[in-house]
Amino acid sequence: MKLFHYIIQGRVWRSIFRTGLPETNYRRSLVILNNFFLHIHPAKVKKSTLKFTTTFYLGGIAFGLYLILLVTGIYLMLYYRPSVPLAYRDMKDLEFVVSNGKLLRNLHRWSAHAMVFIVFLHMLRVFFTRAFHPPKEFNWVIGVFLIIFTLLLSYTGYLLPWDQLAYWGVSVGTNMIKATPIMGEKIRFLLLGGNFVSENALLRFYVLHCVVIPLFLTLLIGVHFWRIRKDGGLQGDLEHYAEYEPDIILGKNIRVEQRESPNQSLVGTGNDENK
Amino acid sequence: MTKINKNPLEIEFGEDIQTTPVRVAYVKGETSIAVERERDEEVLAFPHLIVREVLLFEILLIVLVIISLIFDAPLEDIANPLHSPNPAKAPWYFLGLQELLHYFPPVVAGVVLPVLVVIALVIIPYFRINLIRDPFWTGNIRKKFIIFSAVVLLINSPFIIARAFPIYICSAFIYILMVVPLLFPRSSGLAARIRKIPLADWIMIWFVLVSLVLTGIGVFFRGPEWRWVWPWKSGIYY
């Protein structure tokens, strides 16, 4: 314990984590504010938003799945080559040669399916709890694009095993694109690198799946989270919304009188030492 | 300092709490907005939120590892462009679209309807109908009922013409669910609760139901040549 304190209070540790032990409320808020990864959270949250039944943690679950997919996906990239006979052989290697390769692939596959499903449920939760109300309307739009990116990611990954299921599943889907008026054929050619699903398509889907779409998805997730905070937090109270467009938010039936400044709840005083 | 409010929608400001009430809300009639809610109690994000996030992630990981240990991801024979399986199905989340392809020309099923759905989702927060939480069945119910019935029929007529039975059966189901409670004008109970649902919610419920039914049919009830099969007789084709 003495050693523990020695390390935590030492210069090296304090140069990395400036906050020290989170013994006081002030320092507990600094844990969030001083940390690059955590500072996307507010220092204080409403107790009601922490309840399971408020959100069912669906957004959190979706982000958790994203993290699992990121890690397992990077692992899988070590064992996978996107070319025609090799891609399928690498699948077989994952199954029979690589240690825990099967678990790795299963984890990636089921997480991907779960993410599509959870993201859809998340959308429904946000809709039915009216969490898209102004000022959060644009975050809803970002969310819709996140769903589309999730679907595209899942779909581009679907081709990579290069088995019958993948090949024909993607053939059916990309045939639909052909129906787009005027530029359908061209879009399909661009996507597949040819007129039918071939090695070129595999390479293109691989690049889309591993680089392009994850990049956009990650950026959008960042914006999505950041905007929750900027737009007044999860399920922020109605009065806070009322600053923006009172008659839309509150309907015709209600009139609210504004009270003191809305940002009063920010943590910032250094003498908040009570438990 | 405080001015008399002529416009009921205008917000009244005041500096002095003793002359201007801290917060007053007037509520007329029924509304589902939680006006009575006091200012929520706040807790520190660390540890309350962070601990929950970490726990949630760990539980999620454990559940997925268990699922992955039990169920194997499918892997069939190597892709063969010369041999197409019958039926050739897309992944499950696109089977609703593939089912639409059975009723509509590819332009409609593959392009027009998906694009319409995306546009409809994007514009949701920008339309007043989605922001108002009043129950649908208020005001002149008789007039509303006639207009509503006509609109439902109009929207569903393309589906009826195209014989897209999953869609118009869902529409009919939701329509009955919306209208039947009007026959039971009691102020409490299930019928009263259904009557309180706003129109935006009804539209979303309809959309979810249609998506679920189409996807379900595509996953379980479609076999070779996209013919109808019973999954308990001939198994699930994928």
Task: Show me where the domains of chain A are located.
Answer: 54-234
Q: How confident is the model at residue A178 (pLDDT cuts 50, 70, 90)?
A: confident
Residues in A 110-149 with any Cβ partner in B closer than 8 A: 110-111, 113-114, 116, 123-124, 127-128, 130, 132-134, 136-138, 140-141, 144, 148
Smallest Cβ distance to A196: which of B81, B91, B124? B81
Nearest partner of A154 among A193, A113, A95, judged by Cα: A113
Identity of the residue numbered A112: A
Label residues B8-42 b or e (16+ Cβ within 10 Å = b): eeebeebeeeeebeeeebeeeeebebebeeeeeeb
Mean pLDDT (chain A) is: 85
Identity of the residue numbered A261: S
Distance CA B204, CA B206 (A): 5
Q: How confident is the model at residue B215 (pLDDT cuts 50, 70, 90)?
A: very high
Query: Which pTM does this prediction carry?
Result: 0.84
Task: Give the per-residue pLDDT at B40.
Answer: 66
Q: How far is B146 from chain A (nearest CA, A)?
A: 25
Distance CA B187, CA B14 (A): 40
pLDDT tens-digit map of B26-67? 555 555 555 544 566 888 988 899 999 999 999 999 999 999
Q: What is the ipTM of this complex?
A: 0.84
Task: Give the per-residue pLDDT at A35.
Answer: 87
Contact status, residue A49 vs residue B62, Cβ threshold 8 Å: no
Contact status, residue A169 vs residue B90, Cβ threshold 8 Å: yes
Residues in A 50-89 with any Cβ partner in B closer than 8 A: 50, 57, 60-61, 64-65, 67-68, 85, 88
Query: CATH code for A54-234?
Result: 1.20.810.10
Q: A252 versus B30: which is more confidently predicted?
A: B30
What phi and psi values does residue A3 have, to the nearest 5 degrees? -65, -45
Q: How confident is the model at residue A259 (pLDDT cuts 50, 70, 90)?
A: very low
CA B76, B78, B80, B81 torsion: positive or negative? positive
Residue A252 has pLDDT above 50, yes or no: no
pLDDT tens-digit map of A28-50? 888 888 888 888 888 888 888 88
Residue A269 has pLDDT above 70, yes or no: no
B9 touches chain A (CB under 8 A): yes
The separation between CA B42 and the C-alpha centre of its own chain, rounded to angstroms, equals: 31
pLDDT tens-digit map of B148-200? 999 999 999 999 999 999 999 999 999 999 999 888 888 788 888 888 889 99
Give the position of tokens 């922001």: B131
What are the residue boundaries of the structural domains of chain B, listed by start? 43-73, 92-234
Query: Contacts of residue A165 in chain B, CB cutoff 8 Å?
Result: 74-76, 238
